[in-house]
């Protein structure tokens, strides 16, 4: 287990060693979250690297990563625990076949640890060697307000109650990262329990650093053209602007095709790596891709 960083610079270096390149502002809020034991709430467009922060932290600190992927209709039961119903039915039938089963004893046995299925929140509160895990609550904005209210209580005391077993409290609170793509506003009461940071698209130089760290096989000339084109593309009127994840994917696709530099034809052939909606892809048909590429190269200047 790696010890927690002792400064902002240590935090920035730690994340960098795990392949996550970030600015000082983000490193500061991550450091404070670790130092104060406060959940970290990250908002931003999809693909800017919010989820990757949790993955990088878990890798850098050598802690388990426990992920709760949020979705519409997610309830406390699915997030905390469930009972292993098929195994319980087998136990009941076995007891009936044996005859003379004590109903009270059987009930106590059925609702014991043996038949408990731990979901992410309960799993994150279990004591373990090597330190508490990193708990990623991903895309919280996909859930509804009742689940937010439950989460507010769970994150306040880092404990949950199982009626049949009692209250389970974390001996060491997990490192909690919450993310939101801001498809809706998350309630202020939950945000107040957390430190907050808006994760924005990186500037040219930062995105180059990220691309060189995540796709080192791409030549520098190609990487610069890719980043310049994607940065220019984000200024266009698109339904879904490409994130950093798409920049990395696109560079890897171009390397796989042995592309040396960008051209309108290469862009047209690989648009599916950076744009995920047909309406956006259609906007770049014809001369549009060449126009954006020419403008990107002009702004980039000589290599």
Which uninterrupted H or E stretch holds 264?
Answer: helix 264-269
Q: How far is CA 272 from CA 19, 198, 259, in A?
A: 25, 27, 16
> For residues 27 and 48, what is the distance between their CA atoms, to the nearest angstrom?
15
* Mean per-residue pLDDT, 172-186: 93
Contact 117, 79 (CB under 8 A): no
With a pLDDT cut of 70, the percent of the chain lying above it is 98
Token couple for 246: 């798409």
Q: Which of 141, 108, 138, 136 is nearest to 123 (CA)?
A: 136
Q: What are phi and psi of 122, to 5 degrees?
A: -70, -40
Token couple for 187: 């309630």
Contact 232, 203 (CB under 8 A): no
Q: What is the pLDDT of residues 72-126, one digit of tens each?
A: 999 888 899 999 999 989 888 888 787 766 777 778 888 888 899 999 999 999 8
For the beta carbon of residue 261, count every other beta carbon within 10 angstroms. 14
103 contacts: CB under 8 Å, gap ≥ 6: none
| pTM (two decimals) | 0.88
Which uninterrupted H or E stretch holds 197?
Answer: strand 195-198
Q: Does residue 204 sit in helix, strand or coil? A: helix
Lowest mean pLDDT among 216-220, 244-248, 281-285: 281-285
H helices of the chain, where? Answer: 8-17, 24-36, 50-61, 76-80, 85-98, 103-110, 120-124, 145-157, 188-192, 204-214, 220-233, 244-256, 264-269, 278-283, 288-300
**What pLDDT sits at residue 100?**
60
Q: What is the pLDDT of residues 130-169, one digit of tens each?
A: 889 999 999 999 998 889 888 888 888 888 888 888 888 8
**What pLDDT sits at residue 106?**
78
Q: Is the Cα torsion angle 141, 144, 147, 151 positive or negative in sign?
A: positive
> For residues 120 and 214, what is the distance between their CA atoms, to the nearest angstrom?
28
């Amino acid at each position: 287990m790696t010890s927690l960083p002792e400064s902002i610079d240590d935090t920035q270096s730690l994340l960098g060693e795990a392949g996550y390149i970030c600015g000082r502002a983000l490193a500061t809020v991550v450091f404070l979250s670790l130092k104060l034991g406060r959940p970290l709430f990250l908002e931003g467009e999809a693909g800017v690297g919010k989820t990757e922060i949790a993955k990088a932290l878990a890798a850098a600190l050598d802690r388990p990563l426990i992920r709760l992927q949020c979705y519409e209709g997610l309830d406390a039961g699915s997030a905390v625990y469930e009972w292993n119903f098929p195994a319980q039915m087998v136990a009941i039938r076995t007891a009936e076949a044996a005859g003379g089963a004590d109903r009270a004893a059987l009930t106590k046995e059925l609702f014991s640890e043996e038949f408990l299925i731990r979901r992410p929140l309960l799993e994150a509160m279990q004591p373990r060697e090597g330190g508490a895990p990193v708990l990623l609550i991903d895309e919280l904005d996909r859930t509804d307000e009742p689940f937010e209210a439950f989460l507010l209580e769970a994150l306040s005391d880092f404990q949950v109650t199982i009626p049949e077993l009692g209250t389970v409290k974390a001996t060491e609170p997990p490192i909690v990262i919450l993310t939101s793509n801001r498809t809706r506003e998350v309630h202020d009461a939950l945000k107040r329990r957390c430190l907050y940071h808006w994760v924005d698209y990186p500037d040219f130089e930062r995105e180059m650093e990220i691309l060189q760290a995540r796709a080192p096989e791409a030549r520098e000339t190609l990487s610069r053209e890719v980043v310049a084109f994607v940065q220019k593309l984000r200024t266009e009127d698109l339904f879904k602007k490409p994130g950093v994840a798409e920049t990395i994917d696109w560079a890897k696709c171009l390397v796989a095709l042995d592309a040396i530099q960008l051209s309108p034809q290469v862009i047209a052939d690989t648009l599916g790596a950076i744009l995920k909606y047909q309406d956006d892809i259609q906007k770049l048909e014809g001369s549009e891709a060449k126009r954006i590429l020419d403008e990107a190269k002009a702004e980039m200047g000589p290599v």
